[in-house]
Chain A
Amino acid sequence: MKEIRKVISVIVINEDGVLSRIAGLFAGRGYNIESLTVAPIPESNFSRFTIVTKGSERVLEQITKQLHKLIPTYKVIESQDVVEKEMALVKIPLDTNMSGLDAILKGYNGIVANATEDSLILMGVDDADRISNFLKIIKKFNPTEIVRGGSVSMEK
């Protein structure tokens, strides 16, 4: 069956063990997690999970239903009409040829987030697939470390 990528946001009560309920659900039922980000929703007792997953249509439907079935789950947002963004941090050594770096950073809403005597930390913020691209291109600067943040999304 065809595998589809899907971004699911889950609003849950921010209480002990809720991360493990969700992670355990995915692990126990053999669902994929491509990325998972979680943070409390300001001025509420809820947290928001953004989960990027992959699966057949039936599996994706089950994921949504099983997430909903968890007692602390308030809402499962599966709309794909969302803005999805991801951040990545990349450390590159300063002894590399830097030509073209500016243009690349500009293309991916990037900045130099930190500089030391021997390395730079670059930050890019963009759509998830564009971040993948960014990380591919940035390879020519010989990165020593890459950190992807995982997707966050918001309904339009």
Chain B
Amino acid sequence: MKMSGSQMVIEALHKENVKVAFGYPGGAIMNVYDEIYKDKSFKHILTRHEQAAVHAADGYARASGEVGVAIVTSGPGFTNAVTGIATAYTDSIPMVIISGQVPITMIGTDAFQEIDAVGISRPCTKHNYLVKDIKDLPAIIKEAFFIARSGRPGPVHVDIPKDITAQTGLFEYPKEIHLKTYKPHYKGNSRQIHKALEAIAKSKKPILYLGGGLISAGATDLIRQFAKMTGIPAVETLMARGAMGHENPLLLGMVGMHGNYASNMAMSEADLMIALGPRFDDRVTGRLDEFAKHAKIIHVDIDPSSIGKIVDVDYPIVGDLKNVLESMVDLAKEKIDPDKYESWRGLLSRYNEIHPLKYNDDTKNIKPQWVIQRVGEILGDGAVISTDVGQHQMWTAQFYPFSFPRQFVTSGGLGTMGFGFPAALGVAEYAKDKVSINFTGDGSILMNIQELMTAVEQKLPVINIILNNNFLGMVRQWQTFFYDKRYAETDLSMQPDFVMLAKSFGGEGYRVETKEEFDIALKEAIKSSVPVMIDVKVDRFENVLPMVPAGGTLYNMMLEFKENS
């Protein structure tokens, strides 16, 4: 079928079953937008900034497991999108980003709104394309979706010059893609899996170290099953929250810099670490030469480059976690006796009794942790939670009772402030049956505040809960701990009136200074059909604890902060 390049883009999105795209028009992408205007079969959500379009597509992808789609123009449209692309790349989120480019005849002339987009996106995408011939366009889009969702997922960028979208060509959409040079390895080596199971059977103190790969592989049912039948305790990384479910007796909690004591001690004392889809991030491992010193390591990951990158691995298994865990579950039935680890579980639960995750509640000031717990009590599994980045993010990871995978949407690897609100738009667009809560800080929320307009226009009733301490809190915390309280540029006392701000966009706002007020505000917010800001005045100097200082050892946590003066 003959059609224009821009029609091809739309047609390809149909074929990929795209239900919604987030974007922002501009000169070089106008031909595509002209087709979006004519074609109403998928939804386009106009954000108010390209960065937000990419974050929204990312939030949609994280909540749904589908490929998120964002469309932007050339030059500044694209460069604005880069933070969003890098955020998705670091957390392995499947996305396709389509950008306009100046016409091929003008590439290299420093034309208006020209930038070497593929040059910029190369290090922060799984793959990218500059379309140079209309006859390649259909196959490139097909490949882009295929690469984005297969193997270790990631964002793929397609840069399309304006003359390509204007030209006419034959649209033949390939049914399948076979790339000679790209063949993800799904099936784990069965000999390696056998060996790993033998190591588990022999171990006395095994620990399941669960990472984000479990979520993207859709293997959380299997890990719950495997943990239950083997009786092996588990820790989750930030990206794996929700994998085990908060009520699971085998879940110790989150591991790493702000993980709980028992989790970090389990990692330090284990004799076998069963790493399923994590990447041994420095925020998890702390000082490497002291990390899991006594443990042999099994590492299952779909990306071979992830294995052995940070620590030496004794049992490397390259494969899809669903596939590998199915075999592990089968083998565990005969090989592993769950009673064997009883004393180990007993030790870990004693650690939890000695140093549970806690905070000192207060009658005068609202503690930020209380707010998160309270939302958990009221909404529980009825909400999908997104966050920005900083103290509120860590408290959310620590204190929200996550019960299912994809319930927690957060920028883990890149740590992008400004991610939460636009990501919540994507969440709200997908999870219509859930409440979309964005826990944010008074610093982060201002980094994509313009999205209030998108939320109002699209009737996406995201509830932003600002844990407002008038500080850039996490940096302030480090300044308190490590910089003798020299609060360089972290005092954010100068603030807008968030209530009036929300209202000026057509949203709703509440200012909260007591627990009672919070309950009332949340109740109102849940009923609201417009986006809400709940500005919660919280204790200014609350710290995220416990903490492993950067470069410290997991077993040597700072459990409370003692003033040294």
Residues of A within 8 A of B (CB): 12-13, 16-17, 20-21, 24, 28, 58, 61-62, 65-66, 68-69, 71-74
Name B307's closest neighbour in chain A (CB-CB): A65
B181 engages A72 (CB within 8 Å):
yes
Which residues of the other chain, B, contact A73 by a CB distance below 8 angstroms?
A: 181
Q: Does B179 contact A (CB under 8 A)?
A: yes
C-beta contact mask, B280-319 vs A, less than 8 Å → 1, else 0?
A: 0000000000000000000000011100110010000000
Which residues of the other chain, B, contact A61 by a CB distance below 8 angstroms?
A: 308
11 of the cross-chain contacts (CB-CB < 8 Å) are: A13-B180, A20-B122, A58-B308, A58-B309, A62-B309, A66-B305, A68-B304, A68-B305, A71-B126, A74-B180, A74-B181
Q: Apart from A62-B308, A71-B179, what are 18 other A-B pairs with CB-CB below 8 Å?
A: A13-B180, A13-B181, A16-B132, A17-B122, A17-B130, A20-B119, A20-B122, A24-B122, A24-B123, A28-B123, A62-B309, A65-B305, A66-B305, A68-B305, A71-B126, A71-B181, A73-B181, A74-B181
Whole-angstrom distance from the CB of B128 to the nearest CB of chain A?
8
Q: Give A58 to B311 CA distance when docked, in angstroms.
A: 9
Q: Does B374 contact A (CB under 8 A)?
A: no
Residues of B within 8 A of A (CB): 118-119, 122-123, 126-127, 130, 132, 147, 179-182, 303-305, 308-309, 312
One of A16, A71, A74 near B130 (C-beta < 8 A): A16
Q: Give A13 to B143 CA distance when docked, in angstroms.
A: 15
Whole-angstrom distance from the CB of B147 to the nearest CB of chain A?
6
Q: Give A61 to B132 CA distance when docked, in angstroms.
A: 35
Q: Give A71 to B309 CA distance when docked, in angstroms.
A: 19
Whole-angstrom distance from the CB of B109 to the nearest CB of chain A?
18
Name A65's closest neighbour in chain B (CB-CB): B305
Whole-angstrom distance from the CB of A111 to the nearest CB of chain B?
39
B147 engages A71 (CB within 8 Å):
yes
Whole-angstrom distance from the CB of A11 to the nearest CB of chain B?
9
Whole-angstrom distance from the CB of B469 to the nearest CB of chain A?
36
- Contact status of A69 and B303, CB under 8 A, knowing A17-B122, A20-B122, A24-B122: yes
Which residues of the other chain, B, contact A13 by a CB distance below 8 angstroms?
A: 180-181
Which residues of the other chain, B, contact A28 by a CB distance below 8 angstroms?
A: 123
Whole-angstrom distance from the CB of B152 to the nearest CB of chain A?
9
Q: Give A72 to B129 CA distance when docked, in angstroms.
A: 11
Which residues of the other chain, A, contact B309 by a CB distance below 8 angstroms?
A: 58, 62, 65
Chain B CB within 10 Å, residue with most, of A16, A65, A73: A65
- Contact status of A71 and B127, CB under 8 A, knowing A61-B308, A65-B304: yes
Which residues of the other chain, A, contact B182 by a CB distance below 8 angstroms?
A: 71
Which residues of the other chain, B, contact A58 by a CB distance below 8 angstroms?
A: 308-309, 312
A62 engages B123 (CB within 8 Å):
no
Whole-angstrom distance from the CB of B558 to the nearest CB of chain A?
30
Q: Give A71 to B183 CA distance when docked, in angstroms.
A: 9
A17 engages B308 (CB within 8 Å):
no
Q: Give A68 to B179 CA distance when docked, in angstroms.
A: 14
Which residues of the other chain, A, contact B130 by a CB distance below 8 angstroms?
A: 16-17
A21 engages B122 (CB within 8 Å):
yes
Task: List the 8 closest A-B pairs by CB distance, nearest first.
Answer: A65-B305, A71-B127, A74-B181, A28-B123, A71-B182, A69-B305, A65-B304, A66-B305
Q: Give A28 to B126 CA distance when docked, in angstroms.
A: 14
Q: Give A74 to B308 CA distance when docked, in angstroms.
A: 22
